[in-house]
Amino acid sequence: MAENPTPADLNSPEFQSQLFSLERTLLVQVVDVLGRLRRTGWNDLYRSPGFKWEKIGHVGSRGEALYSLRLTQKIRAVGFREGEFLRLISLHPDHDSAYR
């Protein structure tokens, strides 16, 4: 387990709607990766080639910088760091839609 794990906030209605609409196989994969993410420290998340943490050109509703991270080969999530929390706000089964 990471020294300082990354607590993830999954309470965004948009994120939840997208998560719960995934087909079972993808849902299981995403939940597995979210569990791994939860055990990953921030420094490891930033450097991980698996998560591919990337700043995108959009800002959130409060002006915060948004980031994309890979959850599976097909699915990316968008979120931002708020203190020690990773606030996930959307899920993108079409990889490219995370950047629009």
Cα–Cα distance, 40 to 21 (Å, whole number): 26
CB 47 within 8 A of CB 69: no
Write the pLDDT tens digit of every residue in 38-91. Answer: 999 999 999 999 999 999 987 777 888 999 999 998 899 999 999 999 999 999
* pLDDT at res. 3: 61
β-sheet bridge partners, residue 4: none
Q: Does the pLDDT value for residue 18 go beyond 70? A: yes
Out of 3-12, 14-23, 37-46, 47-56, least confident range? 3-12
* Domains (range + CATH), the chain: 8-99 (3.30.2310.20)
pTM here is 0.86
**Cα angle at 17 between 100 and 95, to 5 degrees?**
35
Cα–Cα distance, 94 to 21 (Å, whole number): 14
Cα–Cα distance, 56 to 97 (Å, whole number): 11
